[in-house]
Amino acid sequence: MSIALFDLDNTLIGGDSDYLWGCFLAERGIVDGAYYEQENQRFYDQYKAGVLDIHEFLRFQLRPLAEHDMETLLDLRRHYIKEKIKPILLPKARQLIQEHRLLGRTPVIITATNRFITGPIAELYGIDQLLATEPEIVAERYTGSIRDVPCFQEGKIHKLRNWLEFNDRTLEDSWFYSDSHNDLPLLNAVTHPIAVDPDEILRQHAETHGWPIISLRD
Candidates 112, 100, 116, 106; CA nearest to 16 is 112
Candidates 152, 182, 192, 148; CA nearest to 57 is 152
* Whether 17 contacts 40, CB under 8 Å: no
φ, ψ of residue 38 to 5 degrees: the values are: -65, -50
Distance of CA 81 to the CA centre of its chain: 15
What is the distance between the alpha carbons of residues 160 and 186, in angstroms, rounded to a whole number?
9
Mean pLDDT of 130-155: 96
pLDDT band at 188 (very low <50, low <70, confident <90, very high): very high
Give the pLDDT of residue 36.
Answer: 85
Torsion (CA) 85, 87, 91, 97 in degrees, nearest 10: 0
Fold assignment, 3-14+89-214: Rossmann fold (3.40.50)
Q: What is the per-residue pLDDT across 24-71, written as a single tens digit (0 to 9) for each?
A: 999 999 998 889 889 988 998 998 898 999 999 999 999 999 999 999
Q: What is the DSSP string of 131-145?
A: EEEEEEEETTEEEEE
What is the distance between the alpha carbons of residues 92 and 54, in angstroms, rounded to a whole number?
30
What is the distance between the alpha carbons of residues 19 and 41, in angstroms, rounded to a whole number?
8
What is the distance between the alpha carbons of residues 124 and 87, in angstroms, rounded to a whole number?
12
Q: Where in the chain is the domain with CATH 1.20.1440.100?
A: 17-87
Provide the CATH number for the domain formed by 17-87 in this structure. 1.20.1440.100
Give the pLDDT of residue 179.
Answer: 98
Query: Sign of the C-alpha dihedral, residues 28, 32, 34, 39?
Result: negative
pTM, to two decimals: 0.96
DSSP letter at 107 equals E
163 Cβ contact list (under 8 Å, min separation 6) = 108, 129, 131, 169
**Helix or strand holding residue 48 (H, E):** helix 33-49
Q: How many CA atoms lie within 13 A of 4 on its CB side?
A: 18
Q: What is the per-residue pLDDT across 62-107, written as a single tens digit (0 to 9) for each?
A: 999 999 999 999 999 999 999 999 999 999 999 999 999 999 999 9
Q: Known catalytic residues?
A: 7, 9
